[in-house]
Amino acid sequence: MKENWKGGNMLNPLPVVMVSCGDMENSNIVTVAWCGNVCTNPPILYISLRKSRYSYDMILKNKEFVVNLVTKDLAFKCDYAGVKSGKDVDKFEHLKLTKEESLYVKAPRILESPVNLECKLRDIIPLGSHDMFLADIVNVSVDKSLIDKNNRLKLEDANLITYSHGEYYSLGEYVGKFGYSVKKKN
């Protein structure tokens, strides 16, 4: 038996990322859980932000940002970046996170993040409480420790976290690979 509720945001868990924006001199980090892939070719992702967020205008001005994946070790810093405003604190400095120059955008990458996706703004879609920023992924930087001897990305070794109903969780155990339900047994 199920109970019916009014329509709401029940798609969970979600990835949680730290989005860095601005440039090497004037930057900010904002935590975002409203994010995801939109298209494979060309590679496009989205983040959704409230207009009231300090980072909103920085992204609007420079038309670029970096999506930095978050590990369990970065969870505390990620949470802080989501509850403190960049108007009041330099989050890179306060959290002792290292700004790293990006290759194709002015926004800095977060060195401590295992994967950084450099993004150029494609479009902004006003939706209500949040606006959706669609962006082309122009570069992906991956920590070499996550690449095995066969040049395969071992993202499962990064200890990434997820966000669900206001709480952070480590990703769980391996269940199966895409297509395993129809794979022929030898």
How do residues 18-31 score in pLDDT, each as one tens digit? 999 999 999 999 99
pLDDT at 37: 96
Q: What is the mean pLDDT of residues 8-24?
A: 93
pLDDT tens across 144-181, in order?
999 999 999 999 999 999 999 899 999 878 788 888 88
Q: Tell me if the bond preceding 13 is cis, omega within 30° of 0.
A: yes
- How far apart, in whole angstroms, are the C-alpha atoms of residue 149 and residue 171? 24
The reported pTM is 0.94
Q: Is the pLDDT of residue 17 over 90?
A: yes
Look over the chain and give the mean of its residue pLDDT values, rounded to a whole number.
94
Q: Domain 14-170, what architecture?
A: Roll (2.30)
Model confidence at 77, pLDDT cuts 50, 70, 90, reads very high
pLDDT at 91: 97
Model confidence at 111, pLDDT cuts 50, 70, 90, reads very high
Q: Is the pLDDT of residue 136 over 90?
A: yes
Region label for 21, one of left (φ > 0), alpha (ψ between -120 and 50) or beta (otherwise): beta
- Domain residue extents for the chain: 14-170
Q: Is the pLDDT of residue 35 over 80?
A: yes
Q: What is the mean pLDDT of residues 111-134?
A: 97
| DSSP state string for 29-63 | EEEE-SEEEEETTTTEEEEEE-TTSHHHHHHHHHS
Return the structure tokens found at 138.
């122009």
Closest CA to 48 of 103, 168, 122, 129: 129
pLDDT at 29: 98
Identify the three-state secondary structure at position 186. coil
